[in-house]
């Protein structure tokens, strides 16, 4: 049994509990990041390593929360790729929507 499965057996299988933990960790990461920016802390400082640890905790909780939702993951990944291509096209001075119908465009956003 892998470590994620071990965590899921306990209270981490409860979606509401995971959501609360997600929001708590997200808030904590934002507060730490804002503090580090405000104090102009060097990126190589130990405090940034602490932020990285909190971000890794956030990633683990996200994995627990979305463990059974591969379809949504794939859809969102496809959407991110389309947006990336469109943004790159805009940077190159092209119109990414030139050959796409209005209906198709709405599905992606």
- pLDDT tens-digit map of 13-51: 888 998 999 999 999 999 999 999 999 999 899 999 999
Structural domains of the chain, count:
2
pLDDT score at 100: 58
Do residues 47 and 41 make contact, with C-beta atoms less than 8 angstroms apart? yes
Same domain, 84 and 33: no
Same domain, 16 and 56: yes
Neighbouring CB atoms inside 10 A of 17's CB total: 15
Q: What is the pLDDT of residues 41-71, one digit of tens each?
A: 998 999 999 999 999 999 999 988 888 888 9
pLDDT score at 107: 56
Same domain, 8 and 46: yes
**Location of structure tokens 């933990």:** 21
Same domain, 101 and 62: no
pLDDT score at 67: 81
Same domain, 102 and 89: yes
CA 56, CA 36: separation in Å to the nearest integer? Answer: 17
The residue segments making up the domain with residue 13 are 3-68
| CA nearest neighbour of 66 among 29, 19, 28 | 19
């Amino acid at each position: 049994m892998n470590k994620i499965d071990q965590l899921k057996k306990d209270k981490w299988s409860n979606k509401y509990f995971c959501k609360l933990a997600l929001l708590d960790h997200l808030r904590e990461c934002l507060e730490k990041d804002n503090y580090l920016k405000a104090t102009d802390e060097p990126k190589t400082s130990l405090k940034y390593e602490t932020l990285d640890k909190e971000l890794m905790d956030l990633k683990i909780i996200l994995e627990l929360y979305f463990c059974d939702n591969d379809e949504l993951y794939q859809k969102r990944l496809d959407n991110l790729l389309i947006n990336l291509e469109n943004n790159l096209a805009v940077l190159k001075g092209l119109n990414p929507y030139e050959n796409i119908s209005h209906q198709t465009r709405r599905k992606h956003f």
